[in-house]
Amino acid sequence: MPFDAAPVETPVDLDGFLASVEKRAFRMAELALGHREDALDAVQEAMIKLVGYRARPPAEWTPLFWSILRRQITDRHRRNTVRRRVFAVLGRDDEDGPDPLETLPDPGRDPAARQEDAAAWSALGAAVRRLPRRQREAYLLRELQGLGVAETAQAMGCSEGSVKTHLSRAMAALRTQLEDWR
């Protein structure tokens, strides 16, 4: 499962910046939320909010965007928790079932390899979602998105030392949880 964690050059226009972070932001949100539609909504809302900051210098866009997305993910977690509680009280199931488009056959790679990749991705996503919030944020921003320590600290609103501590603890927990996938 290779991750595209190459450092992002600072584009001079907002459209270029948003295009450069779109896929990585979606992967991060999907891992954190575990639901494709919620991830798409969180990324879209984060991008819309960043447009309000277009007057800021381009060098500030990266940590600002990841900070906005982090808050969107946290808000979605809260909304989903409330929704599950409400539906549990009402005795209803909130699941709509699988997306019909996802059930169509894919003429691409070998089905066994795709299944193995999907299982590994699912295991990673579940393990990341089990991490405490700050560890999860540090892992997703540093490892998956490739942000530097300073940018991650700015996006998370904490010190660089805290980022290193959270990341170290997250990596140790993930190694333990994903031992079978080595």
Per-residue pLDDT of 1-48, as tens digits, reads 444 444 545 566 888 999 999 999 999 899 888 889 999 999 999 999
- Can you give the pLDDT at residue 9? 55
Give dist(CA 51, CA 163) in Å, integer. Answer: 27
How large is the C-alpha radius of gyration of the chain? Answer: 17
CA 173 to chain centre: 18
- Can you give the pLDDT at residue 77? 84
- Can you give the pLDDT at residue 4? 46
Give dist(CA 175, CA 148) in Å, integer. Answer: 22
Query: Nearest-CA neighbor of 27 among 8, 45, 42?
Result: 42
- Token readout for 16 is 């270029």
- Can you give the pLDDT at residue 3? 46
Look-up: residue for tokens 């501590």?
165
Give the side-chain half-sphere CA count within 13 A for 51: 7
- Can you give the pLDDT at residue 22? 92
- Can you give the pLDDT at residue 118? 83
Domains of the chain are: 8-94 (no CATH), 113-182 (1.10.10.10)
Work out the end-to-end distance of the chain between its first and last CA atoms, rounded to an integer number of angstroms.
12
Indicate the burial class of 3 (C-beta count within 10 angstroms; 0-12, 13-18, 19 or more).
exposed
Q: Which residues, given as ranges, of the chain have pLDDT below 50?
A: 1-6, 8, 101
* pTM for the model: 0.56
